[in-house]
A and B are shown apart, each in its own frame.
Chain A
């Protein structure tokens, strides 16, 4: 257990809490990659998922796509995009977006599919147009599952955004890559602990949001 305690002393060393290499800056970078990824992935996956769920079209494609994307190894994809586009922010963001799309897409279309057909039929029968059915009935009722997809996506991306450091970018992955390079295991342990805590905190926030949504009805 000395590895853990050494990691904790590395973590609590005030020297590691300021500057460009300090935890606050690395956490900010990490959250920056995560939010950029989730925003881009949501912009692609949620409208697509809503369209599939609302129309019932291309459902087979969505299932196949989410399965196939999930099977792609992020590190391999990252390497591929580096070869294609060179070093920069693009490769890790592309790799992470691909990782985040399946849970977001699944949350959106499964959420819409979970809405009682009779409720949707009734909404139409009392004179809602298709946009009103989507915006006033389907999305509000699917929201817990849509948020659930978002939650899964954020957690996966937070845990995997460490790959950015692999190609020389920042984020909490730096502690793992740098520590490994010089066999500084306490640094790696400290970095891992911060990533885990960050993931748990984000998960907790989503849990509270989801609960608030389900209490409303």
Chain B
């Protein structure tokens, strides 16, 4: 369980990224922080592994304040996946994946075999292991990034817009695979995105943020759609544009679901 207690962050240049944020993120489930740029979502994510220290308030993992932990040790115990993969360009794919293990003191051979296993877990061809990141496609690099995040088997996985820079088809593929992985692994995932579709797809709990890390609404995707807290949320999730207001039309004896503009969304089973 991750818990934010009245967390605030003002950066040295005076920008107030987070005003006063409190939230509980249940274990073994995915919480998605979603909002426009500048809403403080990445700052909040980075507080979990102390890449950012809050100006006030506390962040707790399993009731222990992260501020009491050595930042380097803490980061080694938490998986981190970021946009543009963040791979080391001068190291082979397999060595990139093995890096968290090597940092944690795992021997070279053991680290390599576990890294190869992690590459397989994320669906990467083992022949890519000895390539350099620059020789891989964007989607493949992101898979490597996910493998690196998972390789040390951390309880907590932080994902900062991990699929933001890949094309829509590859993104959809990666999203599905993350869902599969999470079904098997049951990590406590904190996922940051600006894409509400991605948030609703991946999140067990979705947190919609306004500027300054102010929570507009927290809930399951269904709760948020059924009962949007205010106009901001209605507009953010698209309820005001008719795309989410679906109705049923009979076509040739089949019940087709269409949106407010009459565009077909699917067939009722």
Chain A interface (Cβ within 8 Å of chain B)?
118-119, 121-129, 132, 136-137, 140-141, 216-217
Q: Is A126 a contact of B89 with CB atoms below 8 Å?
A: no
Give the contact-size bracket for chain B: 20 to 34
A126-B72 contact, Cβ under 8 Å, with A119-B89, A141-B89: no
A121-B103 contact, Cβ under 8 Å, with A126-B80, A126-B148, A127-B75: no
Contact residues, B5-45 vs A (CB, 8 A): none
CA distance A26 to B88 in the complex (A): 46
Is B90 part of the contact surface with A, judged by Cβ < 8 Å? yes
Nearest B-chain residue to A121, judged by Cβ? B86
Q: Is B51 a contact of A124 with CB atoms below 8 Å?
A: yes
Nearest B-chain residue to A132, judged by Cβ? B103
A122-B86 contact, Cβ under 8 Å, with A127-B75, A217-B132, A217-B134: yes
Q: Is B76 a contact of A127 with CB atoms below 8 Å?
A: yes
CA distance A217 to B87 in the complex (A): 13
* Pairs of residues from A and B, 9 with the lowest C-beta to C-beta distance, nearest first: A122-B86, A127-B76, A127-B75, A125-B80, A129-B72, A127-B103, A140-B90, A126-B100, A217-B90
Q: Is B100 a contact of A127 with CB atoms below 8 Å?
A: yes
Residues of A within 8 A of B132 (CB): 217
CA distance A136 to B100 in the complex (A): 13
Residues of A within 8 A of B85 (CB): 122
- Nearest-Cβ distance from residue A166 to partner chain B, whole angstroms: 44
A125-B75 contact, Cβ under 8 Å, with A132-B103, A217-B132, A217-B134: yes
Residues of A within 8 A of B140 (CB): none
Q: Is B90 a contact of A124 with CB atoms below 8 Å?
A: no
- Nearest-Cβ distance from residue B97 to partner chain A, whole angstroms: 11
Is B142 part of the contact surface with A, judged by Cβ < 8 Å? no
- Nearest-Cβ distance from residue B166 to partner chain A, whole angstroms: 16
CA distance A128 to B99 in the complex (A): 9
CA distance A124 to B51 in the complex (A): 8
Residues of A within 8 A of B211 (CB): none
**Given A126-B100, A128-B103, A217-B134, 7 other A-B residues pairs in contact with their CB atoms under 8 A:** A123-B88, A125-B80, A126-B76, A126-B99, A141-B90, A216-B90, A217-B132
Contact residues, B84-129 vs A (CB, 8 A): 84-90, 99-100, 103-104
Q: List 28 A-B contacts (CB under 8 A).
A: A118-B82, A118-B84, A119-B87, A119-B88, A119-B89, A121-B51, A121-B82, A122-B80, A122-B87, A123-B86, A125-B86, A126-B75, A126-B76, A126-B80, A126-B100, A126-B103, A126-B148, A127-B72, A127-B73, A127-B76, A127-B100, A127-B104, A128-B103, A132-B103, A136-B88, A141-B90, A217-B89, A217-B134
CA distance A28 to B253 in the complex (A): 97
Residues of A within 8 A of B88 (CB): 119, 122-123, 136-137
- Nearest-Cβ distance from residue A60 to partner chain B, whole angstroms: 19
Contact residues, B134-150 vs A (CB, 8 A): 134, 148
CA distance A128 to B80 in the complex (A): 12
Is B49 part of the contact surface with A, judged by Cβ < 8 Å? yes
CA distance A129 to B73 in the complex (A): 9
